[in-house]
Chains A and B, each alone.
Chain A
Amino acid sequence: KQEVTQIPAALSVPEGENLVLNCSFTDSAIYNLQWFRQDPGKGLTSLLLIQSSQREQTSGRLNASLDKSSGRSTLYIAASQPGDSATYLCAVKGANTGGFKTIFGAGTRLFVKA
């Protein structure tokens, strides 16, 4: 059974700092891993999707990496801004979860102080 863990659960950093959010998963048989952000009371916004054959994806100040063999992904945020404050979730689309279910981690709550 696929399990997705995100560390840390919460993070507070000063504006301008570079930071790394971690996501680990137990079953390496995945199709993709997707990072989302969620603002309070809102839906999820897709940030980056990494297919199983890829090692990383970049979008603006965001860079996500994927290491299937170790069951890990990181989301790197450069030069953080107060507008980056949100909950960040990683989600794994697995091949062995009874038909390609997408399993989410519990999220990392990020607060960027001005």
Chain B
Amino acid sequence: KAGVTQTPRYLIKTRGQQVTLSCSPISGHRSVSWYQQTPGQGLQFLFEYFSETQRNKGNFPGRFSGRQFSNSRSEMNVSTLELGDSALYLCASSLAVGDSGANVLTFGAGSRLTVL
């Protein structure tokens, strides 16, 4: 069974550009969440999607957005890139969103974004 797949794995952008990252969850998983990881701030929650609807959002500016498709694949977009957006962006999938304590989060390998 394939794991969580994130593309691209590495990318370099310049300030002011925009970037789109993709996440394909484990087959059958309907919930996808995104995290930003930096040395200074650690892992910070960006947003969570379930059935094409954003269910939760972290404390990030509106330049960060996402969406989920009917096949549960998700994309996140960062517009007007800033140097501080350089980070490892991690995607995780789980069976369902909500109050189930049994939902294991399974992470992808991440997309490492460098903004110059």
Contact = CB atoms under 8 A, between A and B. Distances in A.
Interface stretch (A20-28, A41-49, A71-79): A41-49
Given A104-B43, A107-B42, A41 B100 contact: no
Interface residues of B, number: 30
28 contacts: A32-B102, A32-B103, A34-B104, A41-B88, A43-B4, A43-B90, A43-B108, A43-B109, A44-B92, A44-B107, A45-B107, A46-B105, A46-B106, A46-B107, A51-B101, A52-B101, A53-B101, A93-B101, A93-B103, A99-B48, A99-B55, A100-B48, A100-B56, A101-B48, A103-B45, A104-B35, A104-B42, A104-B43
Interface of B: 4, 6, 33, 35, 42-45, 48, 55-56, 58, 88, 90, 92, 97-110, 112
